[in-house]
């Protein structure tokens, strides 16, 4: 151990015993200029933690399980209601794509229980839900019959899937600009928003009121776009405005096909409008085209990714996996090209995992954000309430930023596992970590200037006689709020209040998402007691 260096701060007070903020800043400034702050009074412990390869469940990212996919039986029919897919690496979100008529079969008669049956187990586990409500589908009258009965305009059509026209009966598609349709759907959205707008358990909501499957395309819309592209774009903008007005506090996303399939325009007006409104992007067209166009709208995703999370969805492997449109080797590249935060399991999850486990494991190392602690250095001993500097170097190994942000926190835990002190570094936000793209890493060194413990001069020693008797200390000198002893130093990422939120790829993490690093000794503030 190095020789002890005592640093005695000049006490700067207002009336009473509180230090002024200016005084604290002056003390820290003096400390920064002294070697004592960086641990000259103790040996420095330097660690290079080995990052794990575990799949992490974190907010704002992850695999999405399609529990409903336009049909109430797909793809949850083989799983129990309470199965939250803890066995599927990185699955953070249950995605429910439902017909409007599933949720409001009669006007004003809402069946939220169809959502709740699946949502509640996931929310209880701290996971998230995502929803799309669609008004046109290949399997049913997605728009409730009462809307058409009220006079809403639309067309009847026969769904043609790969020439299998005879397998499907006639279906109805609304005129998406019809005032009766918009008024009725607006009322539905009012009820939907009353339940879900701003709910922290909601990861995102798709804008699904436009086109078949809610994806922004159909035979009718294709003809409209070809005949009158300005009217097509006007209707898209109308639906963007409607959803944003009704759900101002919810992360909304819109599908790529609202701008047309294989559109090379780098900044289409509909995409720009969505970005300007804080509406995100999802690409529903992965592996839906013949090679070499395995996907065609990654350029739009990359325009959104600097500020908004991107969602990607592949076509059904069971349908396209054998006709040349699916390329397993490109799954990870797809995530990287789109800077994706969410990846959809557009199939039965158990079969998907069996077929693509190795690819899923690799995707989990890149999808969204992933904060790797490359190095940490801290003094082996500290004085209570004395300034301490902890140096840490961080890397975002993912392809996207942490859009919500997170605060770095350091905690002291005793041998019984109790958190005895926690302090945050408000000068650093994990959101600032740039993703790792095209092999380029962007490590950032952070020096957290913190204090462990708080010392105050006792203004009324006569009221501390019991404490004096039990501790053998003079109650009129200094009271140390953090007992001296040896603690485990833990690191975490979370709220500004220091509550851990983000899972880190570090070994031996606690259930509360604090990660032990090593031992640190806290001594009484001897210099202060000697005054």
Instruction: Give the pLDDT confidence score for residue 280 in this predicted structure.
Output: 98
Contact 320, 294 (CB under 8 A): no
Helices (H), 376-479: 465-471
Contact 424, 408 (CB under 8 A): yes
- Using CA atoms, how far apart are residues 63 and 346, in angstroms rounded to an integer? 10
Q: How many C-beta atoms surround the C-beta of residue 199 within 10 A?
A: 14
Tokens of 280: 């995100």
Residue written as token pair 């399609």:
66
- Using CA atoms, how far apart are residues 318 and 346, in angstroms rounded to an integer? 10
Residue written as token pair 């793809």:
75
Q: Which domains does the chain have, with CATH numbers?
A: 21-54+370-529 (2.60.40.770), 62-364 (3.20.20.80)
E-only strand ranges, 294-443: 310-314, 342-345, 371-379, 381-383, 388-396, 407-413, 419-429
Tokens of 281: 């992007």
3-state helix, strand, coil in the chain (%, to 5): 30, 25, 45
For residue 393, give the nearest of 43, 18, 5, 51 by alpha carbon.
51
Q: Which residues of 86-105 are buried (b: 16+ CB within 10 A; e: fewer)?
A: eebbbbbbbbbbbbbbbbbe
For residue 402, give the nearest of 364, 437, 373, 429 by alpha carbon.
429
Instruction: Give the pLDDT confidence score for residue 525 in this predicted structure.
Output: 72
Tokens of 186: 């607006």
Distances (CA, A) of 264 to 226, 261, 297, 464: 16, 9, 7, 76
Instruction: Give the pLDDT confidence score for residue 258 in this predicted structure.
Output: 93
Distances (CA, A) of 430 to 338, 383, 393, 443, 492: 21, 28, 12, 11, 11
Distances (CA, A) of 1 to 34, 384, 521, 525: 18, 18, 13, 18
- Using CA atoms, how far apart are residues 476 and 484, in angstroms rounded to an integer? 19
Beta bridge partners of 310: 281
Phi-psi region of 432 (alpha: psi -120 to 50; beta: other; left: phi over 0): alpha
Helices (H), 59-106: 100-103
How would you class 515 by CB atoms within 10 Å of its CB: exposed for 0-12, middle for 13-18, buried for 19 or more?
buried
**Rounded to 5 degrees, what are φ and ψ at 85?**
55, 40
Instruction: Read off the DSSP letter of residue 46.
Output: E
Under-70 pLDDT residues of the chain? 1-41, 161-168, 319, 321-322, 458-469, 471-479, 526-531
Instruction: Give the pLDDT confidence score for residue 154 in this predicted structure.
Output: 96
- Using CA atoms, how far apart are residues 214 and 236, in angstroms rounded to an integer? 12
Tokens of 235: 């209707």
Q: By three-state DSSP, how is residue 391 classified?
A: strand
For residue 404, give the nearest of 294, 271, 496, 333 by alpha carbon.
496
Instruction: Give the pLDDT confidence score for residue 527 in this predicted structure.
Output: 45
Q: By three-state DSSP, how is residue 270 classified?
A: helix
- Using CA atoms, how far apart are residues 220 and 225, in angstroms rounded to an integer? 9
Q: Which residues of 211-221 are buried (b: 16+ CB within 10 A; e: fewer)?
A: bbbbbbbbebb
Contact 326, 320 (CB under 8 A): yes
Instruction: Give the pLDDT confidence score for residue 72 in this predicted structure.
Output: 82
Instruction: Read off the DSSP letter of residue 459.
Output: S
Residue written as token pair 């046109």:
136
Contact 404, 398 (CB under 8 A): no
R_g (Cα) of the chain, nearest Å: 29
State CA 130 to chain mean position distance: 12
**Rounded to 5 degrees, what are φ and ψ at 410?**
-120, 130
| Residues recorded for the chain | 531
């Amino acid at each position: 151990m190095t020789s002890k260096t005592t640093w005695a701060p000049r006490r700067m007070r207002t009336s009473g015993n509180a230090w002024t903020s200016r005084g604290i800043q002056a003390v820290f400034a003096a400390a920064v200029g002294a070697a004592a702050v960086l641990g000259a009074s103790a040996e420095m412990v330097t660690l290079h933690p080995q990052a794990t390869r575990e799949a992490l469940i974190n907010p704002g990212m992850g695999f999405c399980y399609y529990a409903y996919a336009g049909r109430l039986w797909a793809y949850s029919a083989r799983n129990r209601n309470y199965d939250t897919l803890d066995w599927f690496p990185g699955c953070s979100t249950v995605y429910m794509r439902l017909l409007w008529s599933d949720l409001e079969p009669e006007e004003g008669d809402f069946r939220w229980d169809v959502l709740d049956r699946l949502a509640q187990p996931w929310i209880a586990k701290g996971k998230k839900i995502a929803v799309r409500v669609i008004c046109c589908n290949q399997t049913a009258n997605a728009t409730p019959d009462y809307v058409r009965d009220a006079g809403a305009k639309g067309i009847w059509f026969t769904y043609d899937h790969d020439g299998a026209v005879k397998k499907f009966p006639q279906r109805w598609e609304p005129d998406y600009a019809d005032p009766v349709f918009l008024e009725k759907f607006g009322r539905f959205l009012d009820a939907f928003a009353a339940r879900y707008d701003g709910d922290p358990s909601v990861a995102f909501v798709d804008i699904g009121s436009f086109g078949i499957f809610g994806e922004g395309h159909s035979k009718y819309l294709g003809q409209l776009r070809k005949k009158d592209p300005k009217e097509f774009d006007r209707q898209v903008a109308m639906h963007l405005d409607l959803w944003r007005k009704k759900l101002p506090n919810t992360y909304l996303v819109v599908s790529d096909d609202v701008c047309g399939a294989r559109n090379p325009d780098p900044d289409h007006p509909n995409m720009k409008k969505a970005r300007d409104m804080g509406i995100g992007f999802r690409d529903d067209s992965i592996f839906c085209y013949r090679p070499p166009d395995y996907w065609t709208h990654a350029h739009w995703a990359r325009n959104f990714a600097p500020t908004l999370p991107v969602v990607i969805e592949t076509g059904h492997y069971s349908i396209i996996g054998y006709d040349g449109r699916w390329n397993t080797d490109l799954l990870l590249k797809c995530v990287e090209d789109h800077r994706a935060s969410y990846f959809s399991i557009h199939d039965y999850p158990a079969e998907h995992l069996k077929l693509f486990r190795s690819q899923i494991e690799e995707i989990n190392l890149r999808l969204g954000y992933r904060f790797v602690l490359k190095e940490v250095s801290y003094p082996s001993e500290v004085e209570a309430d004395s300034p301490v500097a902890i140096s840490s170097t961080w890397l975002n190994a993912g392809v996207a930023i942490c859009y919500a942000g997170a605060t770095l926190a350091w905690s002291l835990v005793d041998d019984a596992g109790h958190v005895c002190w926690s302090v945050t570094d408000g000068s650093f936000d994990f959101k600032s970590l740039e993703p790792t793209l095209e092999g380029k890493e962007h490590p950032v060194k952070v020096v957290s200037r913190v204090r462990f413990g708080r010392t105050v001069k006792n203004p009324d020693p006569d009221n501390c006689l019991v404490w004096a008797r039990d501790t053998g200390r003079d109650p009129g000198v200094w009271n140390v709020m953090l007992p001296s002893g040896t603690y485990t130093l833990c690191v975490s990422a979370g709220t500004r209040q220091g509550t851990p939120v983000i899972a880190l790829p570090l070994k031996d993490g606690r259930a509360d998402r604090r990660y032990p690093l090593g031992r640190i000794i806290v001594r009484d503030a001897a210099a202060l007691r000697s005054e």
